[in-house]
Amino acid sequence: MTELLAVVGILLTLVLTVVNGFHDASNAVALPVRFNALTPRVALWTGAVFNLMGALLVGLVLDRLISFEIPIPLNDAGVVALLCALLTAIGWDLLTWWWRMPTSSTAAIGGAVVGALLGARAAGLYDDHLAMGSYFSWNVLLPLLISPVIAFGLAFLLVVPIVYLVRHETPGRVNFRAGVVQATGAAAIHFGHGIQHARRTLWILLVLLLIVNPNLSRDSIPVWLTVLVGACLAFGTLLGGWRISYTLSARIVTLDPLRGAAAQTVSGALLFVGGFLSPIPLSTSQTTTAAILGAGSAQKFRTVYHATVLRVIASWVATVPVCGLVSAILFLAASPLIQVPAA
């Protein structure tokens, strides 16, 4: 029974990966498509290729960045906890896509996993309280909390020297150069997205594979698994969740191509560098949204749509507690069927 549940978990993990690519595609393509730097088809194919490249880099080069911050019990309770977390994260991603909200998939799955484990503790099936403290330590939360602030500040400050440098250029030349930067930034964002989210997905898959085969080595990642994760991210990207693109390009702040280029530069750089330096995946959605807001705010006239910004921030704040609560409820509902002693 445990093996069957683990196989279902692996399938749900791949579904979440596709949904994640679909949900987060807008983070990189919204501005280049809005300002005609890329056509929608070219933007999505570029994103698919760079997501795949980022995932392959993780599996082939950066596999040491995949860590086990949360010790999942390698039994039925652990499998069910992951199943509840995956179902919750998939539902949250689809719901926020429908709401046109650029929310964090990383925060959703993290909150859902912790919620499921808290549900397991309440049911007497999990007693590793140290895991909760480890996950919510500053080493884990700090990158998620600070990256939007850094992205906003850098994008805001970057606008000033850029505007000064192009003050004597014609609008057509400025827009052309901004388009090139936006297209390059889109590739960097997708590449960083592939790095960030392949790490998380491979972590979940490795836990599930360890449940099926406890003798599996944690020191190396099978190449086929990395290719599969990258292919799922690429496929999801090709589906393109355009509903969120409208929010990022028109409903948060009024941008011109130059400020769009500044936003793409900052978010692309942070996600790429963060893929190598951050102990956990950064939120692509929060980083890109904050950079767009920061670049658009660096103008003398009023450009920010505060009602939409408040809705976006509210969705960010709600992600972890809502996903945690739903996942805990799902686990408690399923707990009578779990035939294992306390971990």
158 in a structural domain:
yes
Assess whether pLDDT exceeds 60 at residue 60: yes
343 in a structural domain:
no
342 in a structural domain:
no
- Give percent above pLDDT 70 in the chain: 89
Assess whether pLDDT exceeds 90 at residue 294: yes
111 in a structural domain:
yes
20 in a structural domain:
yes
pLDDT of res. 342: 43
Q: What are the tokens at 151?
A: 């992205």
**How many independent structural domains does the chain possess?**
1
The phi, psi pair for 266, rounded to 5°, reads -65, -50
- Residue 235 sits at the vertex; the CA angle it makes with 231 and 238, to the nearest 5 degrees, is 140
- Mean pLDDT for 201-213 is 87
- Give percent above pLDDT 90 in the chain: 60
105 in a structural domain:
yes
pLDDT tens-digit profile of 222-232? 888 899 999 99
Grade residue 343 by pLDDT with cuts at 50, 70 and 90: very low
For the entire predicted model, the pTM comes to 0.92
- Residue 198 sits at the vertex; the CA angle it makes with 334 and 129, to the nearest 5 degrees, is 45
For 51, the domain range is 2-337
Region of 213 please: left (phi>0), alpha (psi -120 to 50) or beta: beta
Neighbouring residues of 327: CB distance < 8 A, sequence distance ≥ 6: 81, 84, 85, 87, 88, 111, 112, 113, 115, 116, 119
In terms of Cβ atoms closer than 10 Å to its own Cβ (0-12, 13-18, 19+), residue 309 is middle
pLDDT tens-digit profile of 33-44? 999 999 999 999
108 in a structural domain:
yes
331 in a structural domain:
yes
